[in-house]
Amino acid sequence: MNPQNRGMNLTQQVADTLGSAIITGKYGEHNPVPSEAVLCEQLKVSRSAAREAVKSLAAKGLLTSRARQGIRVLPESEWNLFDADVLRWMRESNPSLELLREFAELRVAVEPQAAMLAAQRQNSEKISQIGSALNRMKQAESGLDDPLEADIAFHLSILDASENRFFSQLGRIIDTTLRVSIRFTNMRTGVRAGNHHEHKQIYDAIVANKPEEAAKNASLLMDNALAIIVAALKEGVK
């Protein structure tokens, strides 16, 4: 099993190993997951640990297990993409450009509206958190902060400042999308960190209580990121 999952109990370790294997395509329609008895032998775990791990992955929509039918991997359309473990496995699986495109499309749909709401709601404490993240981005340009973490903090703080609980809970998904997409878009554009000026335009509009301008500036940023990914897809980049 993966040494990185040593902080988990035995059932969680089995689920982590199997879940990652499913997401990466090791197991699927044409290469089924072994039976519980074989899993016990391969992973050196008890029958109960294997059984509970399979139940856990079934709850996440990754597989189904029935008597006389064995363990069957379900199609991606059944996976719970909002589950924290599924998101983590996807992030660690060297996701395809198609998946990056879908991530970017989610951001295009959500983040401009969140910026608009943040400008409308004017929660000074939460807007201050956006400003702090923006300052971290500025520091990152001089190597004084982590550019990826600063960029992510900026976008998550806008979701929080929207004061919409559903948007705030999308933070985990947006975090994942950013971790896999920012590296790619930065590599494609030849930059190391997010554009501080473009992010500041969003922040300034929020502070100035200009919802439409905040949404517009956020849309421009999201659209640019999506366009980079779409262009790479058209070029056949793998």
**pLDDT for res 178:** 87
**pLDDT for res 176:** 87
* Domains 3-78 and 95-235 fall in the same CATH topology: no
Fold of 3-78: Arc Repressor Mutant, subunit A (1.10.10)
**pLDDT for res 193:** 64
Question: What is the residue whose two structure tokens read 């997010």?
Answer: 194
Give, in degrees to the nearest 5, the angle at Cα 163 between 216 and 211: 25
**pLDDT for res 4:** 58
d(CA 125, CA 118): 11
- Please report, for the chain, the start and end positions of each structural domain, with discontinuous segments joined by +: 3-78, 95-235
Q: Under DSSP, is residue 96 helix (H, G, I), strand (E, B) or coil? A: coil
Give percent of the chain above pLDDT 70. Answer: 95
- pTM for the structure as a whole: 0.84
Q: What is the CATH number of domain 95-235?
A: 1.20.120.530
DSSP-assigned states of every residue in 13-81: HHHHHHHHHHHTTSSBTTBPPPPHHHHHHHHT--HHHHHHHHHHHHHTTSEEEETTTEEEEPPGGGS-T
**pLDDT for res 182:** 80
Give percent of the chain above pLDDT 90. Answer: 68
pLDDT, one tens digit per residue, over 53-107 is: 999 999 999 999 987 778 999 999 999 988 989 999 998 888 888 988 998 999 9
Looking at residue 5, the DSSP 8-state letter turns out to be G
Q: For the CA atoms of 97, 98, 103, 104, what is the dihedral angle to 10 degrees?
A: 70
Low pLDDT (below 50) residues in the chain: none
